Amino acid sequence: MDRNGHFRFTETNASFGLWFADANTLYVADEGDGYAGGADLYTHAAGQTAAGLQKWACSAGTKRWSPAYTLQAGLNLGARYSVPG
């Protein structure tokens, strides 16, 4: 989401899950830059600074969305995993 409150997909983010906790709080799951490269795939993924669970807050005064923080601890970013089934 840009500073004007518009969601945009760019080279640096791949937001895939949105949840409005209330009218002024939004959580965004971001996969990072979407790099699907080669042997460095997991190293590259681990270095994504915007990837993770982002919290956004809307200012009542300006009516603009701003990033509050991004949670990454415990998400195992850059770790290989599989989904059973």
| pTM of this structure | 0.70
Q: Is pLDDT at 9 greater than 80 in this prediction?
A: no
What is the average pLDDT across 1-11?
Answer: 53
**What is the β-pairing status of strands 52-58 and 65-71?**
antiparallel
CA distance 67 to 49: 13
CA distance 29 to 17: 5
**Radius of gyration of the chain from Cα atoms?**
14
Whether residue 24 lies inside any domain: the answer is yes
pLDDT level of residue 7 (50, 70, 90 thresholds): low
Residue-wise pLDDT tens digits, 57-82: 999 888 888 889 989 888 888 888 88
Whether residue 6 lies inside any domain: the answer is no
Nearest alpha carbon to residue 57 among 30, 28, 29: 28
Domain that holds residue 21: 15-71
Whether residue 48 lies inside any domain: the answer is yes
Residue-wise pLDDT tens digits, 31-59: 887 777 788 888 888 888 778 899 999 99
Count up the domains in the chain and report the number. Answer: 1
